[in-house]
């Protein structure tokens, strides 16, 4: 059974094991993709045009526009619900890796400080290696726990530069 939460408010339990039920009620519906990429959904003898605005597979969300209104739907599969019930909801979240030097080089600039919150894609430091400047970016949202290097420091391959949590 999938739990679908719409706009962080309304929650629905959808089961597709034997037909489709929503909150225990049988739902008779059909959908067809239109030539313009939108969908025509027929439910309860009523047709509505649905535009798929976006899909975020990592966070299991879908954004839909129906009759001019936008609906953000968060989907929770049975494993997500079980982990939440056990109090370990974020256990399957992406692990944040420390930033290590991929090759020997010279740290030119450190762009973060301990305790700083960083977002995925934020620049963290600049390393000169093989006469090229390499900007290291955060691979996920994180907090900088410790900066292990300073500007103008020579580093070796595999050396930890920044510890993230």
Enumerate domains of the chain plus CATH numbers.
Answer: 2-92 (3.30.700.30), 99-164 (2.40.50.100)
List, for residues 4-60, the tens digit of each pLDDT value.
999 999 899 999 888 889 999 998 899 999 998 889 999 888 999 999 888 888 788
φ, ψ for residue 89, nearest 5 deg: -55, -40
pTM equals 0.52
Secondary structure (3-state) at 82:
helix
List, for residues 135-149, the tens digit of each pLDDT value.
998 888 899 999 999
Looking at per-residue pLDDT, the higher value among 87 and 35 belongs to 35
Closest CA to 94 of 127, 57, 43: 57
Contact (CB, 8 A) for 111 and 124? yes
pLDDT band at 95 (very low <50, low <70, confident <90, very high): low
Closest CA to 98 of 81, 84, 112, 108: 112
Per-residue pLDDT at 75: 93
Nearest-angstrom CA–CA distance, 84 and 92: 11
pLDDT band at 90 (very low <50, low <70, confident <90, very high): low
Looking at per-residue pLDDT, the higher value among 153 and 94 belongs to 153
List, for residues 66-86, the tens digit of each pLDDT value.
999 999 999 998 888 887 777
Secondary structure (3-state) at 11:
strand
Mean pLDDT, the chain, whole residue set: 89
């Amino acid at each position: 059974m999938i739990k679908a939460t719409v706009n962080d408010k309304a929650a629905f339990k959808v089961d597709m094991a034997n037909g489709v039920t929503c909150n225990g009620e049988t739902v008779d519906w059909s959908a067809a993709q239109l030539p313009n990429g939108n969908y025509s959904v027929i439910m309860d003898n009523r047709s509505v045009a649905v535009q798929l605005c976006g899909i975020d597979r990592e966070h299991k969300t879908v954004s839909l526009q129906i009759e001019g209104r936008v609906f953000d739907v968060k989907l929770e599969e049975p494993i997500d619900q079980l982990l939440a019930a056990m109090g370990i909801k974020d256990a399957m979240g992406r692990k944040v890796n420390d930033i290590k030097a991929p090759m020997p080089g010279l740290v030119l600039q450190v762009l973060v400080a301990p305790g700083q919150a960083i977002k995925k894609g934020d620049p963290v430091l600049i390393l000169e290696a093989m006469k090229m400047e390499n900007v290291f970016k955060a691979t996920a949202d994180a907090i900088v726990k410790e900066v292990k290097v300073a500007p103008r420091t020579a580093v070796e391959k595999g050396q930890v530069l920044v510890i993230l949590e």
